[in-house]
Amino acid sequence: MLLPRQTRLVLFLLSNLFFIPITFSLVEEQEQFTEELLLKPLPDRKVLSHFHFQSRAPPTASYGHHHRLFPKAIYQLVHKYRIREMELSFTQGRWNYERWGGFDPISSNNAKPPGVELWAVFDVPEHQVDAYWKNLTHTLSGLFCASINFLESSTTYAAPEWGFQPFTGSLRYGTLPREAVCTENLTPWLKLLPCRDKAGLSALLDRPSIYKGFYHSQQLHLISAEFKSGELDSGIILEQTLTVVLQPGAKRTGLAYFQPSWSMSSIFGRQITGKCVLAKSSNVFLQIDRDAVSELKDMWKEMSVNSDKMSKSLWSNPYFELSRAPDRIKEASSINSDSASILYEFFIQKCSKSESFDLGLTWKSSFVWSCPKAPLHATRFLMGSGNERGSIAISLRTTELNRRLMDADISEETCKLRVDIFQMVPWYVKVYYHTLLVFVDEKPQALTDVIERMHVSPSEDKVSPGLMELALKLPCGLNSAALTVEFSKGFLHIDEYPPDANQGFDIPSAVISFPRFNTRLHFPKDDSERSPVLSYTEVLLVPLTTPDFSMPYNVITITCTVFALYFGSLLNVLRRRVGEEERILKEKAANKKTGWISILLSKLFAKLRGRPSESPKSPASSSSLVSLKLLLKVVLVASVAVGWQIEFLELCGFERIDGEKFLDLPIEKVDMAALVSAGSEL
């Protein structure tokens, strides 16, 4: 991938300095497990802790099916559903891109939309992908005690073409924004670790303290090369991460505007008592943005001159102090050296049960700094009122990073900022894609100027969600850009509303990515693996109109009454023959003599109808006709009844004996018990 020089921007040059990747090639044929914990103070007095557990299984071809460390459930999952890559995240809370940063790998890879997000790439023919996805959702649902099986319905997942990940055809993406996340999801996740939460870094995971945080995201990322043919087989890599943003307790160090000092025991309520013995490595990192302590810059320069990498002034200086001496200190550099950071590394191998590991950070003076942000800050909101229509707006505002970059590249005329937008909307939000408008610096733009590429797959009622993938090329010097698209709200069947229908329905987060900006993964071994800067927008809540849920019977009866009214009255009008009636009346008046049989029949007829006989002098002709008709009808009904009865009796087990006119029930078919009981009853 050839990237323009100015955007080939790498924040962290960490991975190639670790021991693990160096040793990796030697132990490739071994299962291995590593655990890492990154702690990072955030500008708004909070602490980010990011747990990262990696299990690696060698390829089945060379290693076989039995594993010592690698979780069997995941291995079977990969093989049964032929998964090439999969990511499942459970998130609660919203990542604050403004304060906690949007450019570093943690925010790009671990800031996830609220609820459950699942995407998977399958290594199966395209027509089977949906079936595999459905089965996968059910399996994951059982594995993680979550309602992931709701993603089975074709209205909840989509097949992005290029806007989300560069896999075509075999990728499926679905989210459940309203899924609540709790310990019941964490426990099965921990069970996949070889030491569970009994030893090692995971022992820190005290449920009350991690769930009281501001943001909580638990992830499972799977990469498998099992089914790739003709490529270097690297087995299955399972990465489990848990990202928590916590507020350190009120352990104040004098002034209120100081950053709060904290230690592991104060934020988690626990300490590390030793590494997980099955883990290949077990490290704790502390990352401090160098922005935070500008003084450190000079120190770092000094140090690089002196090549004294373990200078004490780096971890115990007039600004802050660490409670333990780090085992290693590194600087993560980037092209614009302003936003680098310093990484302190601690090896857990050394500590033992008697001497538990507890890292603390004490601030000695106050600092204000900010985390690196994505080039554009994205927010999404709804416009309009009422329950009939509205529009979705995505607003992109420039951040300092972009401004700084732009200042650097102002010389280049054709500078374009590429932004990819991936948005999935449920079918009941009926988007009019032809109303898409793009504004740059609050001026409307012609779509062809701004949109480089567009893929729309419109929603289909009760079948599939709408999908919009946009590649925008915006001018570099922009201040803001906005996209609006109008929609009208659908009306659902009474059964399709959730129990709390008036709460509204969620539109899943849109994904905004900046493909030209790369952020390097924090922990991987492979140096070349980069991922674009990615951010999620807010989940939108759309209120939909509700019918009256208590009304079905009323509506059915009222509507049917109206139809009956229509049918009956129209037929009555058509049937009425005033002239005939007059004629009959006249005839009645004319011939008064009537036969006695007809009188009798008419009386009988009247009695049958339950009405008094109208008049004894009804005309003979019509009366006899009526009675004849009546007789015919009675005979017809009776014959039908008799016929049916005989058929019924035959069905009941009676048999018609050939040549005879009687029905016979064979003795073996008689239920003697029933007869005896009937007799006793009598």
Least distance in angstroms from the C-beta of 559 to another protein: 5
Does 385 interact with another protein (rule: CB under 8 A)? yes
**Residues contacting 635, CB < 8 A, separation 6+:** none
432 binds another protein (CB under 8 A): yes
Q: How far is the CB of 469 from another protein (least distance, A)?
A: 13
Distance separating alpha carbons of residues 111 and 105, to the nearest angstrom: 9
Among 13, 124, 382, 454, binds another protein (CB under 8 A): 454
Question: Is residue 447 a contact residue for another protein (CB under 8 A)?
Answer: no
Using CB under 8 A as the binding rule, whether residue 566 contacts another protein is answered as yes
Q: Which is nearer to another protein, 432 or 644 (CB)?
A: 432
Q: Binders of another protein among 211-240, rule CB under 8 A?
A: none
Of 188 and 543, the one with the shorter C-beta distance to another protein is 543
β-strands 360-363, 262-263 pairing: antiparallel
305 Cβ neighbours under 8 A, 6+ residues apart: none
449 binds another protein (CB under 8 A): no
Please say which residue, 388 or 650, places its beta carbon nearer to another protein.
388
Q: Does 584 bind another protein (CB under 8 A)?
A: no
Q: Which is nearer to another protein, 559 or 615 (CB)?
A: 559
Of the pair 33, 427, the CB lying nearest another protein is at: 427
Please state, as a whole number, how many other Cβ atoms lie within 10 Å of the Cβ of residue 12. Answer: 21
User: If binding is defined by CB under 8 A, does position 503 make contact with another protein?
Assistant: no
Q: What does the alpha-carbon distance between residue 420 and residue 664 come to, in Å, rounded to a whole number?
A: 82
Q: Which of 555, 637, 641, 676 binds another protein (CB under 8 A)?
A: 555
For the CA atoms of 520, 522, 525, 528, the dihedral, rounded to the nearest 10 degrees, stands at 0
Q: Nearest distance from residue 587's CB to another protein, in Å?
A: 17
Looking at 307-414, list the stretches that DSSP marks H as alpha helix, in order from N- to C-terminal side.
400-408
CA–CA dist 368, 294 (Å, integer): 11
Residue closer to another protein by CB (options 46, 489) is 489
Stretch that binds another protein, among 6-14, 49-57, 180-188, 382-390 (CB under 8 A): 382-390
Return d(Cα 387, Cα 487) in angstroms, integer.
11
Between CA 272 and CA 284 the distance in angstroms is 10
Locate 34 and state its tokens.
């590593």
CA distances from 257 to 43, 111, 291, 364 (A): 12, 27, 17, 11
Q: Binding another protein by CB under 8 A: which of 257, 381, 563, 648?
A: 563
Beta carbon of residue 424, minimum distance to another protein (angstroms, whole number): 13
Closest distance to another protein from the beta carbon of 447 (Å): 11
Residues 50/112, Cβ–Cβ less than 8 Å: no
Please report, as residue ranges, which positions from 387 to 406 form the binding site for another protein (by CB under 8 A): 387-389
Q: How far is the C-alpha of 387 from the C-alpha of 19, rounded, in Å?
A: 59
> Does 208 sit near another protein (CB under 8 A)?
no
Question: How far apart are CB 565 and another protein at their closest, in Å?
Answer: 6
**CB 101 within 8 Å of CB 372:** yes
Q: Are 116 and 89 in contact (CB under 8 A)?
A: yes
- The H or E element that residue 431 is part of is strand 429-440
CB of 240 to another protein, least distance (A): 38
List residues bridging with 394 in a β-sheet.
Answer: 380, 483
Taking CB under 8 A as the rule, does residue 491 contact another protein? Answer: yes
* Beta pairing class for 47-57 and 115-122: unpaired
Name which of 136 and 492 has its Cβ closer to another protein.
Answer: 492
* Distance from C-alpha of 636 to C-alpha of 492, rounded to nearest angstrom: 49
Q: Does 362 bind another protein (CB under 8 A)?
A: no
CB of 539 to another protein, least distance (A): 22
Kindly state the tokens that stand for 473: 């090329």
Q: How far is residue 109's CA from residue 530's CA, in Å, rounded to a whole number?
A: 11
Under the binding rule (CB under 8 A), the answer on residue 665 touching another protein is no
Which of 231, 298, 495, 660 lies at the binding interface for another protein (CB under 8 A)? 495
Among 310, 541, 558, 625, binds another protein (CB under 8 A): 558
- Give the max Cα distance, the chain: 139
The site map against another protein for 463-482 (x = CB under 8 A) is ---x----------------
Residue placing its CB nearer to another protein in the complex, 256 or 574: 574
CB 312: neighbour CB atoms within 10 A?
9
- Token readout for 411 is 């010389």
Sole binder of another protein in the list 449, 460, 529, 655 (CB under 8 A): 460
Enumerate the β-bridge partners of residue 41.
Answer: 47
Residues lying near another protein in the complex (CB under 8 A): 385-389, 427, 430, 432-434, 454, 456-462, 466, 490-495, 545-548, 551-552, 555-556, 558-559, 562-563, 565-567, 569-571, 573-574, 576, 578-579
